[in-house]
Structure 1
Amino acid sequence: MKRICVYCGSSMGKKQEYAEAAKALGQALVERNIGLVYGGASVGIMGLIADTVLSLGGEVIGVIPQAIADKEIAHTGLTELKVVANMHERKAMMAEYSDGFIALPGGMGTLEELFEVLTWGQLGFHQKPTGVLNVDGYYDHLIAFLEHAVDQEYLKANHLDMLQKASEPMALLDLLRDYQAPAVGKWVDRKDL
């Protein structure tokens, strides 16, 4: 893997563990010689992981919509900052530059980005690995809900298995490195078509 896209919050969150995890993930990326692709902001967990990677000599590519950059929160010290027209362009460019995806704790934007790349994988638009860094159980309820969706037959188990889960950065990077996309697409085995 050359680069991983990290989705994360523009705020620091409630617990110090979230900041520590962002720093640890940034360090793990540099140790593995993996570049960071992220949302381009200088604030919150976003800014923290970017600053960590940069301070250790790693590559950081930020992608930020012009409307957000205009609010003076764009990170100006990155390896490369791409300013795009809108959120759709941002997500497409981040995916294009990345060989995999990780979600740190975050809010609606982080969840939306996570589910979009999972859906793209489910539909066969890419075969890149996607995972959550489950810091201090942050994603436990989300994982339980997705298991419920499998139980209720709205989600196939092999599609849930596409979401890699670990509480430590190195363990998650190992899972992403070893990931094999499912061979079955969303509709291939549907009997009602």
Structure 2
Amino acid sequence: MDQPSESGRKSIQLQGIGVSPGVATGPVYLLTTDEDRFVERDIGEDEIAREIARFEDALILTRKQIHEIQAQVKDAIGPDSASIFDAHLLVADDRAIVDEVIRGLYVRKKNVETVLREVSDRYMQALMKVEDDYLRERAVDVRDVTRRILRNLSGGSSQAIARFTEPHILVTNDLAPSDTAVLDKDHVI
């Protein structure tokens, strides 16, 4: 509920699951995902090649970003922690997913964001139904890589949270491993 604070500004009280103990006050940074920001739209046959090119460019950028994050984590924490991003690279390089998205562009005649989201949702749902814990956990990797690809398709940047110049309270529905890896721990309350 909005209430005026002593300074006359409105304050908002948020409830959630804290990852740090205690109570904190400070500027809030709302980290949103790019999953729901795109608009589903129909495409013509003449637009399919452009959508494929956009997808391939986003995949190249995504792989580059994952390699950079992996190198940062390896330098900061060690190779064992960096190995989590091997699974992300496998998802980004998965020919079955890539080919299904490209086929989906021809069949569905929807923009690449829509088709990618549909394909990734199917893969995540299938992985969540598997009894093997390791494979079920790969659904998180598919979601994280999909978010990164969608962000790259929209021209967005995940690095904004890495560029805090003062401490912030980070608020988000879900903090992906790749976002956690680029956080400057000194600037997150």
TM-score category of the 2 structures, normalised to the smaller one? under 0.3
Give 1 or 2 for the bigger CA radius of gyration. 2
Greater helix share, structure number: 2
The alignment's TM-score, normalised by the length of structure 2, stands at: 0.24
